[in-house]
Amino acid sequence: MATPARVVILPKNTSTLRVEEISIPDPGPHQVLVRQHASGICHSQLHEMHAPNRPGPVSLGHESTGIVLKVGPEVTHVEEGDTVFVTWVPRNAEGTARPAWRASIECSEGLAQSGFVFTWADHTLADEQYVVKVDPSVRMDVTAIIGCAVMTGAGAVMNTANVQAGQSVAIFGVGGVGLSAVVAARMAGADPIIAVDLDDEKLAFARKFGATETVNASDQDPIAAIRALTGGKPGYTLYGTPVAGADFTFDCIGIKKTMQQIVPACRDGHFGSHDGGTAVLVGVPLEFPEIDARDLLLNEKHFIGSIGGSCSPDRDFATFIDWFEKGELDLDALVTERYSIDQINEATAALEAGEISGRAILEFEH
């Protein structure tokens, strides 16, 4: 029997969202129906909202918490009543032999497609690969952002870069993803942890999560500032200049300017002895950067990408929950705004205006 749901729909020809009353069908063989508690509001949804030439309506959202209502006959890892996270990264990609179902739902304009899942809804239907079982004692409000913001930022530090104690880190952009990266750098024992942003309040906020240094890129050159903070390393470059730069730089924004800054801001190689630092692209890029290939070559630097923090949710979500429950990851501070589903346009407008200092969530009433 179909389940009534309220779902946020992005129409084909406008960026103004609407909430529709929709009937969600019973789960197919590998699907799970979830009654949602909360969902994160991610900046990448703004990219979808402003994308030109959409072929049709879209359903949005990709990180949430909830309770399983129904499962398909082939689903074995969760059952009715389980507490779960819904995310956009397969929970155990190595153990999966089939392609996942890409979520879609019938709305007033026809079939609304989504990227992987849709979580801006009080109920959702998802492939079992995107549903992660967690302990029922886990709080289900602020933990909704583990499924993207925390996973993406913290995972980039923990998995993609594998930052070690004593290594230097610079993080460009300290919104929800960047702050999660700051926490993971602190947990790894990185030093210094340099937060880079354009807003003094956000930079002060980043210190509460573990940043040891801050750089306001609106009033100083972040590359020069980072190199000044990380100088004094042994060795010289090919050109005979002293080695400087962070061991790892993370771009948690993805705009052209920051993508072009993270390579020169990372550590030079010591010619003939040690290779250079690593620049990690975390934010979703909408532009093509111009990277100085000579810097990459002559200083033996690395420029790599991190999608979803290189996370395996079945493995990594337990770590993030543990950090939260031990007070190491302050999700209560990181979630700075809460909205109802009927306030979704207000929420996305605030996000676009830069008024969300951490991460915002939707909370659903039942």
Interior angle at CA 79, CA 77 and CA 85, nearest 5: 70
pLDDT in tens, 197-224: 999 999 999 999 999 999 999 999 999 9
Among the ranges given (154-163, 212-221, 314-323, 357-366), the one the predictor scored with the smallest mean pLDDT: 357-366
Confirm whether 3-147+330-363 and 150-308 share one CATH topology: no
Nearest CA-CA partner of 344 in 4, 2, 1, 8? 8
- For the chain, the residue count is 366
Q: Which residue has the higher pLDDT, 54 or 270?
A: 54
Q: Hey, is 283 helix, strand or coil?
A: coil
* Cα–Cα dist 137/115, whole Å: 30
Q: Under a CB-based contact definition with an 8 Å cutoff, are residues 181 and 157 in contact?
A: yes
Q: Which residues are registered as beta bridge partners of 171?
A: 195, 250
Q: Which helix (H) or strand (E) holds 201?
A: helix 200-209
Res 94 pLDDT > 80 = no
pLDDT in tens, 286-311: 888 899 888 888 899 999 999 999 99
Q: What percentage of residues in the chain have a pLDDT greater than 70?
A: 99
- pLDDT in the model for residue 236: 79
Res 161 pLDDT > 90 = yes
Q: Under a CB-based contact definition with an 8 Å cutoff, are residues 37 and 64 in contact?
A: yes
Among the ranges given (124-133, 167-176, 236-245, 313-322), the one the predictor scored with the smallest mean pLDDT: 236-245
Give the torsion through C-alpha atoms of 83, 33, 96, 105, to 10 deg.
-140
Could you count the other beta carbons within 10 Å of the beta carbon of residue 314? 16
pLDDT in tens, 314-354: 999 999 999 999 999 999 999 999 999 999 999 999 999 98
Please compute the mean of the pLDDT values over residues 185-189 and round it to a whole number: 98
* Cα–Cα dist 200/264, whole Å: 23
Q: Under a CB-based contact definition with an 8 Å cutoff, are residues 265 and 245 in contact?
A: yes
- pLDDT in the model for residue 75: 96
Which of the four pLDDT bands, split at 50, 70 and 90, describes residue 239? Answer: confident
Q: Hey, is 270 helix, strand or coil?
A: strand
Q: Hey, is 259 helix, strand or coil?
A: helix
Res 49 pLDDT > 80 = yes
* Cα–Cα dist 241/357, whole Å: 39
- Verify cis geometry, omega within 30 degrees of 0, for the bond prior to 52: no
Q: Under a CB-based contact definition with an 8 Å cutoff, are residues 19 and 68 in contact?
A: no
Domain residue limits, the chain:
3-147+330-363, 150-308
What average pLDDT does the chain have? 94
Q: Which residue has the higher pLDDT, 103 or 178?
A: 178
Which of the four pLDDT bands, split at 50, 70 and 90, describes residue 115? Answer: confident
Distances in Å between the alpha carbon of 186 and those of 38, 181, 182, 335?
27, 9, 6, 19
Q: What is the 3-state secondary structure (H, E, C) of 18-64?
A: EEEEEEECCCCCCEEEEEEEEEEECCHHHHHHCCCCCCCCEECCCCE
Distances in Å between the alpha carbon of 93 and those of 32, 90, 119, 120, 310?
17, 5, 21, 24, 11
Which of the four pLDDT bands, split at 50, 70 and 90, describes residue 189? Answer: very high
- pLDDT in the model for residue 37: 98
Among 114-118, 129-133, 241-245, top mean pLDDT goes to 129-133
Res 273 pLDDT > 80 = no
Determine the CATH number of domain 3-147+330-363: 3.90.180.10
Res 107 pLDDT > 80 = yes
Tell me which amino acid residue 248 is. Answer: F
Q: Under a CB-based contact definition with an 8 Å cutoff, are residues 113 and 102 in contact?
A: yes
- pLDDT in the model for residue 100: 83
Please compute the mean of the pLDDT values over residues 68-74 and round it to a whole number: 97
- pLDDT in the model for residue 235: 79
Please compute the mean of the pLDDT values over residues 2-12 and round it to a whole number: 96
Q: What residues contact 307, with CB distance under 8 A and at least 6 apart?
A: none
Q: Under a CB-based contact definition with an 8 Å cutoff, are residues 245 and 277 in contact?
A: yes
Res 4 pLDDT > 90 = yes
- pLDDT in the model for residue 331: 97
Given CATH 2.130.10.30, say whether it is the number of domain 150-308. Answer: no
Q: Under a CB-based contact definition with an 8 Å cutoff, are residues 308 and 286 in contact?
A: no
Interior angle at CA 221, CA 218 and CA 224, nearest 5: 155
